Amino acid sequence: MKQSVKLIAGNWKMHGLSADLAQAAALREALEGQDARCRVALCPPATLLDRMNAVLTGGGVELGGQDCHEKPAGAFTGSVSAEMLADAGATLVILGHSERRAAFNESDADVAAKVEAAVAAGLEPIVCVGETLVQREAGEAVAVVSAQVEKSLPDSLAERPFAVAYEPVWAIGTGLTPTLEQIAEVHAAIRTALVRRLGQAATWTPILYGGSVKPENAAEILATAEVGGALVGGASLKAEDFLKIISAA
C-alpha cells in the first residue's frame, strides 16, 4: 500500500446550511477537467452529508464526516455512527479533533475505539493529534504528540488507508502557525511513532498539517518535509480560498 499523494481536507465544523452547498458545487466544478495533483475532501456537518454527496458524486472531491460514535447503532441520542456516515456517502472521517478532545473529553482510548468503528465501516480515518500552547512552551510537543499517535491508533489500522493530522491546538482558528522547522520536527516524530506503532506500511501514511492554513501560507507548509497534505478549517468554507490552497499542493 502506497499513499504518497497529498490530501487536502476541509473541515467545515459546525458551519454550513443548504445555501452553502453552492460552495461544494463550485469546488467540484473548478476541479473538473483538471489533472488531480492531490486528493481533495470536504467534511461538512452531518446534516449536509447526504445532500453534499449528491453534489459531489461523480466528481473528484471526496466526502468525510467530522466524528462518529464507536458503536454501529444503539440508544445514543444525538450520535452518528460510522456506518451512518458511510451510508450517507462519506468515505473519510475526522477523528480525535482537538475540539472534541477538549469539549467532549475524548481520550486517546475513545479516539482509538472510534477509529476501530470507522475501519469496520470501511471509512478512512483522519486521526488528529496536537499539543496545547502550555505543552509546547514546556518543550513537550514531540512527547505529547508521539504519545497520542501511540495510543489513538488501534492495531486494525495496520495496512489500512488512513491519515494523521498534526494540529497544534494553539494554531487552530487563531491565525498563528508554528515555524516550518517546528512543523518538520513534529512531522518527523509522528513518522517515527507511526512506524514504531504500525510497522513499515506506515511509511506511506499521509501526515497532514492543520492549524490556520490559508492561501498565503499553504505553499510553504505543503512543501515542508513529511507534510502530506492539510486539514483546513475556516479557509475551506469558501471554494475560492480552498481552491487556492489546493493549487498550492
Helices and strands: H and E segment counts in the chain: 10, 8
Active-site choice (62, 69, 97, 106): 97
CA distance 67 to 49: 12
- State which amino acid sits at residue 59: G
Q: What Rg do the C-alpha atoms of the chain give, in angstroms?
A: 17
Given 70, 83, 108, 167, the residue binding ligand PEP (CB under 6 A) = 167
Strand partners, 126: 94, 163
Are 199 and 153 contacting, i.e. CB atoms less than 8 angstroms apart?
no
Cell numbers found for residue 188: 518527523
Cell numbers found for residue 211: 492549524
The CB-of-111 to ligand PEP minimum distance in angstroms stands at 15
Q: H or E stretch including 180?
A: helix 180-198
The CB-of-236 to ligand PEP minimum distance in angstroms stands at 7
**Binding of ligand PEP by 66 (CB under 6 A):** no
Tell me, yes or no, if 15 is annotated catalytic: no
Given 72, 122, 173, 199, the residue binding ligand PEP (CB under 6 A) = 173
The dihedrals phi and psi of 141, each to the nearest 5 degrees, come to: -55, -50
Are 117 and 76 contacting, i.e. CB atoms less than 8 angstroms apart?
no
Residue, CB closest to ligand PEP: 233
The CB-of-178 to ligand PEP minimum distance in angstroms stands at 12
The CB-of-200 to ligand PEP minimum distance in angstroms stands at 28
Tell how far CA 225 is from the center of its chain.
Answer: 18
Residue 80 φ/ψ region, left for φ over 0, alpha for ψ in the -120 to 50 degree band, beta for the rest: beta
Given 172, 189, 222, 227, the residue binding ligand PEP (CB under 6 A) = 172
Given 43, 123, 149, 232, the residue binding ligand PEP (CB under 6 A) = 232
3-state helix, strand, coil in the chain (%, to 5): 45, 15, 40
Given 63, 121, 202, 213, the residue binding ligand PEP (CB under 6 A) = 213
User: Judged by CB, which is closer to ligand PEP: 43, or 83?
Assistant: 43
Given 96, 211, 228, 229, the residue binding ligand PEP (CB under 6 A) = 211
Tell me, yes or no, if 150 is annotated catalytic: no
- State which amino acid sits at residue 246: I
User: Judged by CB, which is closer to ligand PEP: 20, or 83?
Assistant: 20
Strand partners, 164: 127, 207
**Binding of ligand PEP by 233 (CB under 6 A):** yes
Which range, of 18-26, 56-64, 133-141, 210-218, touches ligand PEP by CB under 6 A? 210-218
Active site residues: 97, 167
Please report, as ranges, the residues that interact with ligand PEP according to CB under 6 A: 11, 13, 167, 172-173, 210-213, 231-235
